[in-house]
Amino acid sequence: MSNIARLFFEQARSHPERVAIIHGAQRVTYGELAKQAEATAAGFMAQGLSTGDRVLVLVPMGIDLYRVVLALFRMGAVAVFLDAWVSRERLELCCELADVRAWVGGWKARLLALVSRPLRCTPIRLRISPPSGATTPLAAVDPDQSALITFTTGSTGTPKAARRSHGFLARQFEALLDELEPTEGDTDLTTLPIVLFINLGLGSTTVIPAFKPSAPERFSAGKVVQQILLHGVDRMTVSPIHAHMLADHVLRTGSHLTALKKLFTGGGPVFPGEAQRIVRAFPDARCTIVYGSTEAEPISSINAAELVGEVSDEGLCVGRVFHRASVRIIPIADEAIFPMSSGDFDAFVLPEGLVGEIIVSGAHVLASYYNNEEAYRRNKIIVDGVVWHRTGDSGRLSKGVLYMLGRCAQLIPHRDGYIAPFVWEPRLKAIDGVERGTLIGREGRIIAVLQPARGVDRGTLISRAETLCPFVDEVRLIKELPTDPRHRSKIDHEALQRNVY
With respect to residue 299, please indicate whether it lies within any of the assigned structural domains.
Answer: no
Q: Which residues pair with 357 in a beta bridge?
A: 330, 394
pLDDT tens digits for range 54-110 = 999 999 889 999 999 999 999 999 999 987 667 788 888 888 888 899 999 988 888
Q: Which domain holds residue 324?
A: 311-410
Report CA-CA distances (Å) from 459 to 186, 438, 445, 501: 53, 18, 21, 20
| 137, 164, 191 - which closes a domain | 164
**Of the candidates 149, 164, 179, which is a domain's last residue?**
164
In this structure, is residue 446 part of a structural domain?
yes
Q: Which of 379, 423, 431 is nearest to 403 (CA)?
A: 423
66 falls within a domain: yes
The single-letter DSSP state of residue 211 is B
pLDDT, position 182: 80
Mean pLDDT along residues 235-263: 94
Boundary (domain end) residue, out of 164, 194, 229:
164
Inside any domain, residue 26:
yes
User: Residue 452 domain-assigned?
Assistant: yes
If asked whether residues 322 and 446 sit together in one domain, one would say no
Residues 135 and 70 reside in one and the same domain = yes
Q: Are residues 23 and 132 in the same domain?
A: yes
Q: Please list the residues that pair with 365 across neighbouring strands.
A: 296
Same domain, 369 and 416: no
Quick check: helix, strand or coil at residue 418? strand
Q: Which domain CATH number covers 338?
A: 2.30.38.10
Dump pLDDT digits (tens) for 108-131. Answer: 888 888 888 888 889 999 888 767
Judge if 404 and 434 occupy the same domain: no
CA–CA separation, 115 and 117 (whole Å): 6
Average pLDDT rounded to a whole number, residues 343-366: 96
Considering the domain architecture, whether residues 11 and 141 belong to the same structural domain is answered as yes
Residues 359 and 489 in one domain: no
- CATH (domain of 418): 3.30.300.30
Q: Do 445 and 473 fall into the same domain?
A: yes
CA 133/CA 36 separation, integer angstroms: 10
In sequence order, the 6+-apart residues with CB closer than 8 A to the CB of 444 are none
Q: Map 249-288 to HEC letters.
A: HHHHHCCCCCCCCEEEEECCCCCHHHHHHHHHHCCCCEEE
Q: Model-level pTM?
A: 0.91
| Among the listed residues 11, 1, 53, 54, the one whose alpha carbon sits nearest the alpha carbon of residue 31 | 11
**How many domains does the chain contain in total?**
3
Q: Is residue 123 part of a domain?
A: yes
Instruction: Write out the DSSP string of 336-373.
Output: ----B-HHHHHHHSPPTT--EEEEEESTTB---BSS-H
Contacts of 346 (CB under 8 A, 6+ apart): none
- Are 259 and 475 a contacting pair, CB within 8 Å? no
In this predicted structure, the answer to whether residue 420 has a pLDDT above a threshold of 90 is yes
φ and ψ at 293, to 5 degrees? Answer: -145, 175
Give the tens place of pLDDT for each residue, 453-483.
988 898 999 999 999 999 999 999 999 998 8
- What is the SS3 assignment for 390? strand
Whether 13 and 154 share a structural domain: yes
> What is the CATH classification number for the domain harbouring 109?
3.40.50.980
Please tell me whether residues 332 and 434 are part of one structural domain: no
Whether 11 is covered by a domain: the verdict is yes
Assess whether 10 and 152 both reside in one domain.
Answer: yes
Residues near 391 by beta carbon (within 8 Å), at least 6 away in sequence: 293, 295, 296, 299, 357, 358, 359, 360
Whether 210 is in a domain gets the answer no
345 and 466 fall within a common domain: no
Residue 498: pLDDT band (50, 70, 90) is: confident
Spatial strand order in the sheet of 474-477: 434-442, 445-452, 474-477
